[in-house]
C-alpha cells in the first residue's frame, strides 16, 4: 500500500486527545423524554412539516418533507407523539431559536414499515439517488450538504475518483474512528455502492495514520478494487480540499467544486448510512456521537437525532464542580452550546465538555506571520483580519476571504490571541447581508419603476376618457358615494370587532414583532 501522497501547505500537529473516547465500544444512548428535531439540519432550504401536533408517529416515519432540490426530509427518530412544532434552542452561533418538531417518545421504539428493494445490488443510479434523498441523508462529517445532490452530480459528470473520508482530523473527535471499527463492512459496502452509482474509476477510503485499528478493520473487509489510504495526522487533513490534494495532488480551483475536477467525496458515516437505507430501508434517524472532555466516562454513543445534549452529558457522567462549557463539535470549529436542550442533529459529531479552551486577553497584531505559515489554504490571515476589522470587505474578498475554510489554524497559533476566525465570520456575514440588501433594493427599484410606468399609463387613459365626454363623471360620483358608505359601515364593524378583541386580550398592537407571536403555527409562517 505504497501511495504517493502530497503535502498541503501549513496545517498543525495538534494534541489529539483521541484515546480519551475511542477505547470503549459505542453504546446506544437512552431514548430521551423529548426529541427536538429541527427542520433545518442541513445546508439548503428548511424542510416542511408533514405532521400535526397530537399525531402519533413511528420510528423512521416522514415528519417533514424536502422543499426543493437542495433540501432533505426529516424522519421521526423513535415512535411517539408530536407534541409541538415551534421554536426551540439549537446549536447556532446566534443563539436564535429555530423551528423544531418535538416528539414525546412512547418508549417502544417501533419502526415504520421499512421497504427494501428486491435485488438492491442491482439498482440503477436514479433509484439509489432517490433512496438517498428520501432517507434524509446529508454529509455526516459536519458540513451537512444533502448527499443526493453530490451523488447526482457524480452521476451526471465523469468521476475519476471517489474519496470516502475517514480522516477525522479535529482533536477529541472519534466517532468516525469507532464507526469504522464497528461497522467497517457497512462503510466498505456503502463506498462500493456509491462508487458503482457514480461510476467512479477509482475509490479510495482514507483514514489518518494514527487510526490503526480502523485501518485494520477496513483492510479485513475490503472488496473489489477499493483502495485504502493513510494520510498524515495533520489538522485539517480531513478538510475536503486538503484531503483531495493529499491523495491526488489536484487542487480544486477557487470558487469551484471537487466535481469540477472529477472528484466526489463523502464521509465514512455517510457511506454507511447510504448502505443502511439501500439494504435495510432505514432512513437517517441516529448517528455516532463522541461525548468527551471532562465527563466521567468519555465514549461514543449511537444517538437518536433530536436527543438533547444535556442527556448525553448526564449519561456519560456530568463532571463535579461548577458547570463546564459544552461545545457541539470539536475544539477548533465547534459551537458553544448555551442551553442543554439543544439537540443532536445530523451533523453533530461530538459533544465536548471542557473549560480548557479559554484564551488570554486579545492583544495587537505583532506581524509575526505565524498565521500565514499555518493557513492550509495559503491565505494571508493577518491581512484578512486587518481588512475585516476595517470593514474594507472588497479588499478582503480580493484576498480570497471566501476560500477560508474556517479551520482556525491561524487563530490557534496567534500569539496575540486575536480571534481571527471570528473576524472572518463577521466579514463573510456582512458581505452576505450586503448582497441580500442589494438584491432586495434591486427588486424594490424594479417594482417601483413598473408601478410608476403603470400609473402614468392609467393617467393617460383617464385623460383620454375624460376628453371623450362627461359620461363617466356622474357615475363616478355615484360610485364614490356608495364606496364611502361601504367604508363607513366597515369601519363601524371593525371598531366593534376591535373593542371585543381588546377586552379579551389587552392591546397586542404595541409590542408586536414579526416572529414570536406566531410561534407554534407553522402554517401561518410562510
Residues that bind other proteins (CB under 8 A): 14-15, 40, 92-94, 96, 98, 171, 327, 331-332, 334, 336, 356-359, 361-362, 389, 408, 411-412, 417, 419, 422-423, 425-426, 428-430, 433, 436, 440-445, 447-452, 486-487, 490-491, 493-495, 497-498, 501, 509, 512-516
CA pair distance 359, 322, nearest whole angstrom: 19
When CB distances are held under 5 to 8 angstroms depending on the partner's kind, the choice from ligand SF4, other proteins, none that residue 368 binds is ligand SF4
When CB distances are held under 5 to 8 angstroms depending on the partner's kind, the choice from ligand SF4, other proteins, none that residue 381 binds is ligand SF4
| 366 near ligand SF4 (CB under 6 A) | yes
Q: Give the distance, in angstroms, between the CA of residue 165 and the centroid of all CA atoms in the same chain.
A: 18
When CB distances are held under 5 to 8 angstroms depending on the partner's kind, the choice from other proteins, ligand SF4, none that residue 94 binds is other proteins
| 368 near ligand SF4 (CB under 6 A) | yes
Q: What is the DSSP string of 393-416?
A: HHHHHHTTGGG-----HHHHH-TT
Give the residue ranges of DSSP H helices in 208-351.
212-221, 240-248, 268-280, 309-315
Minimum distance of ligand SF4 from residue 186's CB (angstroms): 32
Question: Judged by CB, which is closer to ligand SF4: 111, or 426?
Answer: 426
Minimum distance of other proteins from residue 483's CB (angstroms): 8
Question: Judged by CB, which is closer to other proteins: 362, or 520?
Answer: 362
Task: Name 57's bridge partners.
Answer: 80
Q: Count the residues of the shown chain that bind ligand SF4, applying the rule CB under 6 A.
A: 29
Question: Judged by CB, which is closer to other proteins: 115, or 504?
Answer: 504
Contact yes or no for 350/168 (Cβ under 8 A)? no
x/- binding map, residues 221-260, to ligand SF4, per CB under 6 A? ----------------------------------------
Question: Judged by CB, which is closer to other proteins: 68, or 361?
Answer: 361
State which of residues 62, 188, 244, 377 lies at the interface with ligand SF4 (CB under 6 A). Answer: 377
State which of residues 264, 316, 326, 404 lies at the interface with ligand SF4 (CB under 6 A). Answer: 404
Question: Judged by CB, which is closer to other proteins: 23, or 359?
Answer: 359
x/- binding map, residues 406-445, to ligand SF4, per CB under 6 A? xxxxx--xxxx-x-xx------------------------
**Cα distances (angstroms) measured from residue 319 to each of 17, 174, 314, 326, 374:** 17, 20, 9, 12, 34
Minimum distance of other proteins from residue 436's CB (angstroms): 8
When CB distances are held under 5 to 8 angstroms depending on the partner's kind, the choice from ligand SF4, other proteins, none that residue 415 binds is ligand SF4
Candidates 104-112, 297-305, 365-373, 460-468; binding stretch for ligand SF4 (CB under 6 A): 365-373
- Output b/e per residue, 2-11; b: 16+ Cβ within 10 A: eeebeebebb
Question: Judged by CB, which is closer to other proteins: 225, or 449?
Answer: 449
| 370 near ligand SF4 (CB under 6 A) | yes
Please name the helix (run of DSSP H) or strand (run of DSSP E) that holds residue 352, with its range, or none: strand 350-354
When CB distances are held under 5 to 8 angstroms depending on the partner's kind, the choice from other proteins, ligand SF4, none that residue 111 binds is none
Q: What DSSP designation does 384 have?
A: H
Touching ligand SF4, residues 206-225 (CB under 6 A): none
- SS3 (DSSP) at 75: strand
Minimum distance of other proteins from residue 291's CB (angstroms): 18
For residue 332, which of 344, 350, 346 has the smallest C-alpha distance? Answer: 350
CB-based contacts of 487, cutoff 8 Å, min separation 6:
none
Minimum distance of ligand SF4 from residue 432's CB (angstroms): 17
CA pair distance 163, 316, nearest whole angstrom: 33
| 385 near ligand SF4 (CB under 6 A) | yes
Give the residue ranges of DSSP H helices in 135-267.
147-156, 175-198, 212-221, 240-248
When CB distances are held under 5 to 8 angstroms depending on the partner's kind, the choice from ligand SF4, other proteins, none that residue 387 binds is none
Touching ligand SF4, residues 45-64 (CB under 6 A): none
Phi, psi (deg, nearest 5) at residue 303: -115, 135
Task: Name 230's bridge partners.
Answer: 207
| 3-state SS string for 28-58 | ECCCCCCEEEECCCCCCCCCEECCCCCCEEC
Contact yes or no for 63/84 (Cβ under 8 A)? no
Phi, psi (deg, nearest 5) at residue 293: 95, -135
For residue 63, which of 76, 54, 53 has the smallest C-alpha distance? Answer: 76
Contact yes or no for 26/392 (Cβ under 8 A)? no
**Residue showing cell 418533507:** 65
**Cα distances (angstroms) measured from residue 57 to each of 53, 54, 71, 374:** 11, 9, 22, 50
Question: Judged by CB, which is closer to ligand SF4: 60, or 381?
Answer: 381
Question: Judged by CB, which is closer to ligand SF4: 280, or 425?
Answer: 425
When CB distances are held under 5 to 8 angstroms depending on the partner's kind, the choice from ligand SF4, other proteins, none that residue 422 binds is other proteins
Question: Judged by CB, which is closer to other proteins: 15, or 54?
Answer: 15
Minimum distance of ligand SF4 from residue 269's CB (angstroms): 24
When CB distances are held under 5 to 8 angstroms depending on the partner's kind, the choice from other proteins, ligand SF4, none that residue 180 binds is none
Question: Judged by CB, which is closer to other proteins: 320, or 510?
Answer: 510
Paired sense of beta strands 56-57 and 202-208, if any: unpaired
- Cβ-based neighbour number of residue 122 at 10 Å: 9
Q: Give the distance, in angstroms, between the CA of residue 229 and the centroid of all CA atoms in the same chain.
A: 28
What is the contact surface with ligand SF4 in residues (CB under 6 A)? 365-371, 374-377, 379, 381-382, 385, 404-410, 413-416, 418, 420-421
Amino acid at each position: 500500500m505504497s501511495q504517493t501522497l502530497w503535502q498541503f501547505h501549513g496545517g498543525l500537529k495538534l494534541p489529539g486527545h483521541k484515546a480519551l473516547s475511542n477505547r470503549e465500544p459505542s453504546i446506544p444512548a437512552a431514548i430521551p423524554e423529548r426529541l427536538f428535531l429541527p427542520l433545518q439540519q442541513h445546508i439548503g432550504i428548511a424542510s416542511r412539516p408533514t405532521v400535526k401536533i397530537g399525531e402519533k408517529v413511528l420510528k423512521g416515519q416522514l415528519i417533514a418533507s424536502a422543499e426543493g432540490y437542495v433540501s432533505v426530509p426529516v424522519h421521526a427518530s423513535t415512535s411517539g407523539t408530536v407534541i409541538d412544532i415551534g421554536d426551540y434552542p439549537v446549536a447556532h452561533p446566534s443563539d436564535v431559536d429555530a423551528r423544531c418538531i418535538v416528539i414525546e417518545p412512547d418508549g417502544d421504539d417501533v419502526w415504520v414499515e421499512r421497504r427494501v428493494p428486491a435485488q438492491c445490488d442491482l439498482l440503477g443510479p436514479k433509484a439509489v439517488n432517490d433512496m438517498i434523498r428520501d432517507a434524509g441523508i446529508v454529509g455526516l462529517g459536519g458540513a451537512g450538504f444533502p448527499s443526493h445532490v453530490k451523488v447526482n452530480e457524480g452521476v451526471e459528470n465523469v468521476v475519476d475518483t471517489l474519496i470516502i473520508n475517514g480522516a477525522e482530523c479535529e482533536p477529541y473527535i472519534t466517532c468516525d474512528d469507532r464507526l469504522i471499527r464497528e461497522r467497517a463492512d457497512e462503510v466498505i459496502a456503502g463506498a462500493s455502492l456509491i462508487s458503482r452509482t457514480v461510476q467512479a474509476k477509482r475509490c479510495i477510503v482514507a483514514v489518518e495514520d494514527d487510526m490503526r485499528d480502523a485501518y485494520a478493520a477496513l483492510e479485513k473487509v475490503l472488496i473489489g478494487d477499493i483502495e485504502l489510504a493513510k494520510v498524515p495526522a495533520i489538522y485539517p487533513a480531513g478538510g475536503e480540499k486538503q484531503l483531495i490534494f493529499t491523495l491526488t495532488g489536484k487542487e480544486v480551483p477557487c470558487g469551484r467544486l471537487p466535481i469540477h475536477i472529477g472528484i466526489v467525496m463523502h464521509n465514512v458515516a455517510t457511506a454507511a448510512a447510504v448502505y443502511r437505507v439501500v439494504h435495510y430501508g432505514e432512513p437517517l434517524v441516529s448517528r455516532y456521537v463522541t461525548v468527551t472532555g471532562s465527563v466521567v466516562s468519555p465514549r461514543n454513543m449511537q444517538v437518536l437525532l433530536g436527543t438533547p445534549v444535556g442527556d448525553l452529558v448526564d449519561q456519560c457522567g456530568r463532571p463535579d464542580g461548577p458547570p463546564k462549557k459544552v461545545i457541539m463539535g470539536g475544539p477548533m470549529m465547534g459551537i458553544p452550546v448555551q442551553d442543554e436542550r439543544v439537540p443532536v442533529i445530523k451533523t453533530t459529531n461530538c459533544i465536548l465538555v471542557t473549560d480548557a479552551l479559554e484564551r488570554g486577553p486579545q492583544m495587537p497584531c505583532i506581524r509575526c506571520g505565524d498565521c500565514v505559515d499555518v493557513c492550509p489554504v495559503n491565505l494571508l490571515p493577518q491581512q484578512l483580519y486587518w481588512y475585516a476589522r476595517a470593514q474594507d470587505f472588497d479588499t478582503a474578498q480580493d484576498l480570497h476571504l471566501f476560500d477560508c475554510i474556517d479551520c482556525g489554524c491561524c487563530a490557534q497559533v496567534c500569539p496575540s490571541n486575536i480571534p481571527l476566525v471570528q473576524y472572518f465570520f463577521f466579514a463573510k456575514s456582512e458581505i452576505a447581508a450586503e448582497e441580500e440588501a442589494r438584491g432586495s433594493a434591486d427588486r424594490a427599484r424594479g417594482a417601483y419603476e413598473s408601478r410608476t410606468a403603470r400609473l402614468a399609463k392609467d393617467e393617460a387613459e383617464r385623460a383620454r376618457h375624460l376628453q371623450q365626454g362627461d359620461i363617466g363623471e356622474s357615475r363616478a360620483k355615484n360610485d364614490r358615494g356608495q364606496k364611502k358608505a361601504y367604508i363607513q359601515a366597515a369601519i363601524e364593524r371593525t371598531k366593534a370587532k376591535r373593542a371585543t378583541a381588546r377586552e379579551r386580550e389587552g392591546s397586542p398592537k404595541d409590542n408586536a414583532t414579526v416572529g414570536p407571536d406566531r410561534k407554534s403555527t407553522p402554517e401561518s409562517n410562510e
